[in-house]
Structure 1
Amino acid sequence: MSRSLLNTLFDYKAWANVELFDVLSTVTSETDLHTAIRTMNHIYVVDRIFRAHLLGEAHGYEASNTRTTPTLEELRAAVQETDAWYQQYVSSLDEDALAAGIRFRFTDGDSGLMSREEILMHVITHGGYHRGNVGQVLKNIAINPPRDILTKFLHASEPQRRLV
């Protein structure tokens, strides 16, 4: 996979997160909002765990979610910071760095080995999967979730693509 495509995918991920947090800020059902925040927090924690793996650092998490639930505003700020880190990080990599293998431990203690590129794709696909879960929570309470699709992002960020 090219670094250019990874850059696009991480820009898309950041955009999709902003779109979803905007909609979540309108949710009035505390129970459904809590469910959505827990899911978004899981994405965030996994992003942070794999960020630590990429850097060869300890992450300090014992599980793929936290015991306490942040507020929507706290989580939004933390996600934006992490998304910005991934956008910058991907921009700094070359082909050799993308292909390099990284050994790590999962939170359950099992060992793992993935290339940087595989880790980055996991972060992208994992986030998309769980944003879809949050979209279903929104549908269940009659709120339309944002259209979390790459084609919408590409055409929103580059409107000239519509001028064909």
Structure 2
Amino acid sequence: MPSSLVQTFRAFAYNNAWANHRLLTSCASLSQAEFEAERRSFFPSLQQTLNHIYYVDLFYIDALEGGWLGPAAWANQIPFPTVAELKPAQIAMDRRLIAICNALAPEDLDGIVRVNRDTRVQDERRDRLLMHLFQHQIHHRGQAHAMLSGTTVAPPQLDEFFAAEEAPLRASEFAELGWTEATIWKGD
């Protein structure tokens, strides 16, 4: 596997953390009632959708780290009822994913991750599992973004991470998260 693919996964991990940060920062302006309000989507509220992102991250990131948590990850469907509780938990989860991607070497990408599915063990290539995890995040974050547009809070821009001209606008958010453009693109 080419080293550029490792850099791609690293960039996706940082992009994922940034997008979660932006979305949860916007959601922090909602009242608790607005956060819990029933809306049209796969999950019927922002609260349920954003908690779903968290516990599925927990499931897969635990497996990527060699853990065996499995379906216990979603035993509590709303582990963080408020944005104030969810945001730091998601930031910590995103940092775990960044650490996994920062530690990757090209030869790790086609390695096997064992995933505890409770009634069976799924053997999945690391690169495919990472692609699935990022796609899952994007899919449900898009749903949350659409739900947010039906509130008094404007949804944040989430698709400018890779645009070089947007770098100055991201700098303060990156500082809040503890990294810079150079951190993300090291080795490029």
TM-score w.r.t. the length of structure 2 is 0.73
- Provide runs of 4+ in structure 1 moved above 4 Å: none
Q: Determine which of 102, 105, 113 is the counterpart of 1:91.
A: 102
CA distance in 2, matches of 1:158, 1:2: 26
Q: Determine which of 52, 55, 74 is the counterpart of 2:65.
A: 55
State the percentage of identical aligned residues. 23
Equivalent residue runs for 1:1-164 within 5 Å: 2-28=5-31, 30=33, 32-34=34-36, 35-59=45-69, 61-62=71-72, 64=74, 66-70=76-80, 71-106=82-117, 109-149=119-159, 152-155=160-163, 156-157=166-167
CA displacement, residues 104-160 of structure 1 (integer Å, 9 cap, x when unaligned): 2325x34422111111111111011101111121122253311221xx11233377x
CA distance in 1, matches of 2:147, 2:157: 14
> Where in structure 1 are there 5+ consecutive unaligned residues?
160-164
CA distance in 2, matches of 1:102, 1:23: 34
SS at match of 1:77: helix
CA distance in 2, matches of 1:47, 1:67: 13
1:85 offset after TM fit, Å?
1.3
SS at match of 1:112: strand
CA distance in 2, matches of 1:142, 1:110: 44
CA distance in 2, matches of 1:158, 1:91: 23
> Where in structure 2 are there 5+ consecutive unaligned residues?
37-44, 170-188
SS at match of 1:148: coil
Instruction: Report how many aligned residue pairs link the two structures.
Output: 155
CA distance in 2, matches of 1:20, 1:14: 10
SS at match of 1:62: helix
CA distance in 2, matches of 1:110, 1:132: 31
- After superposition, the CA RMSD in angstroms is 2.2
TM-score w.r.t. the length of structure 1 is 0.83
Q: Which amino acid aligns with 1:23?
A: S
